[in-house]
Amino acid sequence: MTQNHDNSYVPYTSVEFPDSAWMAQFRRRILAWFRRNARDLPWRRTRDAYAIWVSEIMLQQTQVVTVIDYFERFLAAFPSIADLAAADEQEVLRLWEGLGYYRRARQLHAAARVIVAEHQGRFPREPEQIRGLPGIGRYTAGAIASIGWDAREPILEANTIRVFSRLLAYRGDPQKNAGQQRLWEFAAGVLPKRDTGLFNQALMELGSEICTPRGPLCDQCPVRALCPTFRLGLQDEIPLPKRKTKYEDRHEAAVLVRRGDRVVLRRCGPEERWAGLWDFPRFPVTARRGESLSQQLERALEELTGLKVEAGRKLATIKHGVTRFRITLDCYEADWTGGRLGRNRDVRWVEIAALEDYPLSVTGRQLSRLIPPASL
């Protein structure tokens, strides 16, 4: 950053880094602030790499308040890497149910198996080995190593991208390659020699609690005096806003096929939205000439499961969003009239009472709660 003759700072997209006096003051202030203000979170009470790893994976795309219960239940069920590796994937997904982004759970499980097979069940310490594990990228590896054993590893995630962009008054797009490179360099340069775990957590805490995306609490910020974005009043412009997601509307139907006290469940395939989870048979609603909705439902059900059914009444309409899709899901009852499921193990009749044991998609769980009491 350079200073003009009128004493104002000019923000660049290719920023220069602040000098060592700035860095030293920044470290001192943020560490002192974090020691006084850190929230008491369950994963902050340990330096066990496994627990930190689980928390970091859960916290990706998910808020802290949501993660706390899931984290405690998960560690109670699988207290060690070996326990997780020995578990069935269905158990892991059941505990993850509702957290979303289920790929995270499958990769965590797969990585636990790699650690048992290749590292005697102990979380590896070599950066290359850590990053070689399924689902662990540069950020997660840095977070585990710094928080777990104070390795001198930088981090960059949503909160620190925002904090660093503002501390550097970086006007470019922080998501693009050039921006990422600069911010990673800054993350490495600003790291202290000691207490790197505390320092990295302090940065994330500052981003989450003070330097928020909209309306940052600059008057409470411990590094306000060092912040060019505050000085220039550019908090609303830095970082550059992300491009708005274009949403797509979808119309789908789910069918609750009953036969006595059992219903049909189908496991989503590896390429599907909820890969590995179970759901009621579900398909897109498309307009076909001369075909009523009931006929479409019966045809689609037979194609998907091999069963013949008679479509019944609509139970509910659930509106929900998944990534860029805004979905309207109409849920119907249907009675089994014939046909068999065949040998496909991913479609099965399940006792209604056993539905609790199955990892279901979010809407699958909602629909399971709508099963009319008369059929229980």
Residue 168 contacts ligand SF4 per CB under 6 A: no
- Contacts (Cβ under 8 Å, ≥6 apart) of 342: 306
Which of 160, 200, 201, 229 forms a contact with ligand SF4 (CB under 6 A)? 229
Q: What residue spans of 78-195 are helical by DSSP H?
A: 81-86, 89-96, 103-118, 127-131, 138-149, 158-167, 177-190
Q: Does 216 bind ligand SF4 (CB under 6 A)?
A: yes
Q: Which of 56, 97, 298, 333 is catalytic?
A: 56
CB of 111 to ligand SF4, least distance (A): 34
Stretch of 93-101, 130-138, 179-187, 208-216 contacting ligand SF4, by CB under 6 A: 208-216
Pairing of strands 248-259, 282-284: antiparallel
In terms of CB distance, is 164 or 278 closer to ligand SF4? 164
Residue 56 appears among annotated catalytic residues:
yes
Backbone angles phi, psi at 317, to 5 degrees: -120, 125
Cα angle vertex 130, ends 124, 131, to 5°? 170
Site residues (CB under 6 A) for ligand SF4, limited to 144-163: 163
Token pair in block for residue 69: 């219960």
Q: Name which of 11 and 364 has its Cβ closer to ligand SF4.
A: 11
Region near ligand SF4 per CB under 6 A, out of 9-17, 175-183, 192-200, 209-217: 209-217
Among 119, 224, 262, 273, binds ligand SF4 (CB under 6 A): 224
Question: Which of residues 172 and 281 has its CB atom nearest to ligand SF4 in the complex?
Answer: 172
CA distance 132 to 265: 35
325-338 and 248-259 strand pairing: parallel
Question: Which window, 109-117, 217-225, 299-307, 361-369, contacts ligand SF4 (CB under 6 A)?
Answer: 217-225
Residue 179 beta carbon to ligand SF4: minimum distance, rounded to whole angstroms:
17
Contact between 18 and ligand SF4 (CB under 6 A)?
A: no
Is residue 199 classed as helix, strand or coil in its secondary structure? Answer: helix
Whether the ω angle into residue 239 lies within 30 degrees of 0, i.e. cis, is yes
Residue listed under structure tokens 């599907």: 272
Residue 72 neighbours by CB distance under 10 Å: 12
Residue 166 interacts with ligand SF4 (CB under 6 A): yes or no: yes
Q: Does 25 bind ligand SF4 (CB under 6 A)?
A: no
CA-to-CA separations, 130 to 68, 92, 124, 125, 314, in angstroms, rounded: 24, 21, 6, 7, 50
Where does residue 124 rank: exposed (0-12), middle (13-18), buried (19+ CB within 10 A)?
A: buried
Residue 342 burial class via C-beta count within 10 angstroms: exposed 0-12, middle 13-18, buried 19 and up: exposed
Q: Which is nearer to ligand SF4, 92 or 163 (CB)?
A: 163
- Total interface residues for ligand SF4 by CB under 6 A: 14
**CB nearer ligand SF4, residue 27 or residue 166:** 166
230 binds ligand SF4 (CB under 6 A): yes
- In the complex with ligand SF4, the residue whose CB is nearer, 57 or 223, is 223
CB of 240 to ligand SF4, least distance (A): 14
- Out of 112, 211, 264, 307, point to the residue binding ligand SF4 (CB under 6 A): 211
Catalytic residues: 56
Applying CB under 6 A, the residues found at the interface with ligand SF4 are: 163, 166-167, 210-211, 216, 218, 221, 223-224, 227, 229-230, 235
